[in-house]
C-alpha cells in the first residue's frame, strides 16, 4: 500500500509540469491556460513570431490523496518560435511550424524528491485557414496543429517530480475564434492527448502508460479600447478518458479539473501583444487544485 501511494503521488504531481502547461497526475506537460484570447490565428498575419510565457502555479490541495497541509509551487518559463507561411498548401490553408521549450522550477511539500530544469520539447506543424469573412469583417478564424511532445526534458526515475515526462505524446488540437460582433469574440482550443509508455517511472514499477485525455482552453472577451485593450473571461479543463496502466494493470485514478478567471490582451503595437490571465481551479480529481497566473508576450518580427 505504501508503494502504491508513492506511485500515486508521483503521477498526481506530474500535473504541475505542463507546458502551458502544467501536466496532470501521470500526464505530460500540456497547455492548460497558456493560450487564450483571439486564439484562432496569429495576431499579425504571416511571418516569424517569438513568444515568451511566464506562468506561476500554486496549490495547497491534492485532491483524493491522503496528505495534510500539502503545497505545490511551480514556475514555468516557456519560449516559443512560430513561423506562419504566406504560401497556400491547400486552397485557403497556409502551412506553419510551432516549436516550444519550457524551463520548469518546482517546490513541493510533502515530497522533497523534486527537480528543476528544461522540460520536454514540443513541435507542431499546422495549417492556418484564411479568415471566414462577413460584411463587417472577419467572422471566424481556424487552425489545426499536429502537436507532438518529445521526451527531451530532464528526468530522473529516482525523483518524484521531473521537468520531463520520459515518454512521447501526441497532442493535436483545433483552435478557433468566433466574432460574435467586431467587438466581442469567443475562442477555444481543443486538444486530444495520446501517451506512449514510460519505461522508467518513479515508485518501483517497470512501466507506466498514462491514460488518454482531452483538454481545452476557452475565452469570451470584448474590446474596451478598439485595437488596444480587450478584457474578458478565460478558462480551461482537463478530462482523462481512459485509465492509466501500471505494469499492464489498469489503475482507476482518472484526472479531471475545471478552471475559470479574468484576463485580457494589451495590443502594444500591431506587432507586440501582451496577454494576462488568472485561473482558479475547481472540481479537481486525483490532482492538485489551485490557482494559475499567466503572462504571455508575443512579438511579430
Average pLDDT, integer, range 263-271: 97
* pLDDT confidence of residue 9: 39
Residue 97 β-bridge partners: 83, 125
Check the CA dihedral 16-19-20-23 and report its sign.
Answer: negative
Domain count, the chain: 1
Residues 69, 61: Cα–Cα separation, whole Å = 8
Residues 209, 199: Cα–Cα separation, whole Å = 9
* pLDDT confidence of residue 113: 56
Under 8 Å between Cβ of 30 and 24: yes
C-alpha cell belonging to residue 169 = 505524446
* pLDDT confidence of residue 114: 63
**Enclosing domain of residue 82:** 2-300
Contacts of 158 (CB under 8 A, 6+ apart): 113, 202
User: With bands split at pLDDT 50, 70 and 90, how would you rate the model's confidence at 85?
Assistant: very high
CATH of the domain at 178: 2.40.160.40
Under 8 Å between Cβ of 85 and 47: no
Per-residue pLDDT tens digits for 3-41:
333 333 333 344 333 333 333 357 787 999 999 999 999
Average pLDDT, integer, range 178-204: 93
Is pLDDT of 253 > 90?
Answer: no
Contacts of 91 (CB under 8 A, 6+ apart): none
C-alpha cell belonging to residue 227 = 485595437
Average pLDDT, integer, range 79-94: 95
Amino acid at each position: 500500500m505504501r508503494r502504491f501511494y508513492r506511485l500515486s503521488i508521483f503521477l498526481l504531481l506530474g500535473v504541475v509540469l505542463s507546458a502551458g502547461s502544467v501536466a496532470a497526475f501521470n500526464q505530460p506537460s500540456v497547455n492548460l491556460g497558456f493560450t487564450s484570447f483571439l486564439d484562432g490565428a496569429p495576431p499579425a498575419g504571416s511571418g516569424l513570431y517569438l513568444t515568451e510565457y511566464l506562468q506561476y502555479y500554486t496549490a495547497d490541495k491534492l485532491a483524493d490523496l491522503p496528505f495534510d497541509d500539502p503545497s505545490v509551487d511551480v514556475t514555468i518559463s516557456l519560449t516559443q518560435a512560430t513561423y506562419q507561411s504566406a504560401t497556400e498548401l491547400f486552397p485557403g490553408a497556409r502551412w506553419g511550424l510551432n516549436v516550444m521549450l519550457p524551463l520548469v522550477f518546482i517546490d513541493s511539500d510533502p515530497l522533497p524528491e523534486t527537480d528543476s530544469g528544461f522540460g520536454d520539447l514540443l513541435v507542431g506543424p499546422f495549417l492556418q485557414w484564411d479568415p471566414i469573412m462577413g460584411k463587417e469583417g472577419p467572422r471566424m478564424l481556424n487552425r489545426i496543429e499536429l502537436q507532438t511532445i518529445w521526451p527531451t526534458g530532464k528526468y530522473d526515475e529516482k525523483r518524484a517530480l521531473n521537468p520531463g515526462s520520459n515518454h512521447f505524446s501526441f497532442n493535436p488540437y483545433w483552435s478557433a475564434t468566433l466574432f460574435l460582433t467586431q467587438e466581442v469574440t469567443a475562442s477555444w482550443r481543443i486538444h486530444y492527448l495520446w501517451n506512449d509508455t514510460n519505461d522508467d517511472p518513479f515508485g518501483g514499477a517497470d512501466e507506466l502508460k498514462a491514460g488518454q485525455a482531452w483538454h481545452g482552453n476557452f475565452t469570451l472577451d470584448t474590446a474596451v479600447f478598439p485595437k488596444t485593450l480587450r478584457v474578458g473571461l478565460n478558462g480551461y479543463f482537463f478530462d482523462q478518458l481512459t485509465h492509466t496502466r501500471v505494469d499492464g494493470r489498469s489503475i482507476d485514478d482518472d484526472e479531471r479539473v475545471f478552471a475559470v478567471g479574468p484576463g485580457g490582451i494589451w495590443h502594444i503595437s500591431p506587432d507586440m501583444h501582451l496577454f494576462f490571465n488568472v485561473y482558479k481551479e475547481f472540481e479537481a480529481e486525483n490532482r492538485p487544485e489551485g490557482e494559475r497566473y499567466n503572462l504571455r508576450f508575443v512579438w511579430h518580427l
